[in-house]
Structure 1
Amino acid sequence: MRRINNWTLWGILFCNSFLVGCAPLAPNVDPPSDYTYIIGPGDSLEMFVWGNPEISRTIPVRPDGKINAPLVEELPASGKTPFQLARDIEKELSKYIRNPLVTVIVNDFVGPYSEQVRVVGQAAKPQAVPYKENMSLLDLMILVGGLTDYAAGNRAVIVRNMNGVQQQLRVRIDDLLEDGDITANVNILPGDILIIPEAYF
């Protein structure tokens, strides 16, 4: 496999920075109206089995997206809603318990990678965060601690998958954070990637 050295990587980033200025401004699209949280690897779940406290417990979702619990082995959890997973657990438990009633509550939210919002580049704390309903650009910047001193916030772009097509949409973070221009605050969608480039000197 061909290796990419540091000079090649910097060249790719440098060339891409010129394309950022050509990207259209991100429209303030409506957030998903029917958004429901989807379980992902790394989530921590509370499984309550009514009338059976001995098998009720906290269970982690493994990196492969499955869970193990008393009387429930190798059950896929990733990609399901808590409601769907509870029904699947009930089916498994019904082999041993009469009419089981299960509730699943998510404690620590990670979510599937496809719905996480990623921030890379000149953010104070670049990271991937779980999407939250009605999340905005301002909410996202608060979560990552704002910009570094070297950031070019008004040249930042959101990479967004729209109907299977990947688009680059420019956002005005400097205007939002430094000037308080609320018109620069746009909605974030599940799976968005925010790229914040370094300023030219």
Structure 2
Amino acid sequence: MDPLVWLAKIGLVILCVAGTSACGAREARVDYAAWSVNDPRQGAYRIGVSDVIRVTVWKDPSLSTDTTVRPDGKITVPLIGELEAGGRTAAEVQEQLVRRLAAFVKDAIVTVAVVEVNSYRFTVAGNVERPGMFTPRYYVTVSEAIALAGGPNRFGSTDETVVIRPRLGAPPVRIPIDYDRILTGERPEADIVIRPGDTVLVP
């Protein structure tokens, strides 16, 4: 055999093995369980910026109001003034209101409800049919987010799909997503829930 041909074949084998190892290492590095901790679909909804909150005080319409959560996470309520709402559940905000109102209204019966969910926003970018920002009224997974964007277009490299997740006080983190194997059912754990502020990128 021509030595050059033999060397070329050996080189191809090395590249294939290296590529397989790299793919295996890439999969091993992605701990999807870690990205599914504190699944927002479990438990009560956490109020966010731009959500609209309805405060109802029984038999006192002057204290009842619809109020929007400001960028600082606070709402304004008649008589009480400012109240922290961001990151809390409706029940937790209700407890705060009852305590604060106790100084003004005896045995106030208060209910708090989220009437508009506007804080759950994420972006789907890259080679999808309808890239853009989405604000569904419920939490979605990676595959559902891509479906909302019309799915990958014919140029999309779905095997390179990533979720870019912002982090407070740190650079965003890139989470490789095994999208093709989500669709085949081989890696359902890779279909992580999209969080507010995430960007799903299909290169």
TM over 0.5: yes
1:27 is displaced (CA, Å) by 5.1
How many residues get paired?
171
What is the match of residue 171 of structure 1? 177
The alignment status of 1:154 with 2:159, answered yes or no, reads yes
Which one is further off, 60-69 or 138-147?
138-147
Deviation by residue 1:126-162 (Cα, 9 ceiling, x = unmatched):
32547956x4322222333323443222211124589
Looking at secondary structure, tell me which structure has more helix per residue. 2
Q: How is 1:30-179 mapped onto 2 (pairs within 5 angstroms)?
A: 32=38, 34-111=42-119, 117-123=122-128, 124-127=130-133, 129=135, 132=138, 135-159=140-164, 168-174=174-180
Larger RCO (CA within 8 A; separation ≥ 6): 1
- CA distance in structure 2 between the partners assigned to 1:191 and 1:43 by the alignment: 13
One-letter amino acid of the counterpart of residue 183, structure 1: E
1:92 is displaced (CA, Å) by 2.3
Secondary structure, aligned partner of 1:54: helix
User: Radius of gyration: which is bigger?
Assistant: 2
One-letter amino acid of the counterpart of residue 42, structure 1: S
The percent of aligned pairs where both chains have the same amino acid is 21
What is the match of residue 12 of structure 2? none
Over 3 Å counting, the alpha-carbon distance change for 1:71 and 1:192 in structure 2 is closer
Question: Is contact 2:152–2:202 with CA below 8 Å preserved after alignment?
Answer: no
What is the match of residue 14 of structure 2? none
Structure 2 unaligned segments of length 5 or more: list them: 1-22
Question: Is contact 1:50–1:101 with CA below 8 Å preserved after alignment?
Answer: yes
**Alignment TM-score, normalising by the size of structure 1:** 0.65
Question: Is contact 1:153–1:173 with CA below 8 Å preserved after alignment?
Answer: yes
Q: CA RMSD in A?
A: 3.6
Structure 1 unaligned segments of length 5 or more: list them: 1-20
Over 3 Å counting, the alpha-carbon distance change for 1:146 and 1:108 in structure 2 is farther
- CA distance in structure 2 between the partners assigned to 1:173 and 1:57 by the alignment: 44
- CA distance in structure 2 between the partners assigned to 1:132 and 1:27 by the alignment: 24
**Alignment TM-score, normalising by the size of structure 2:** 0.65
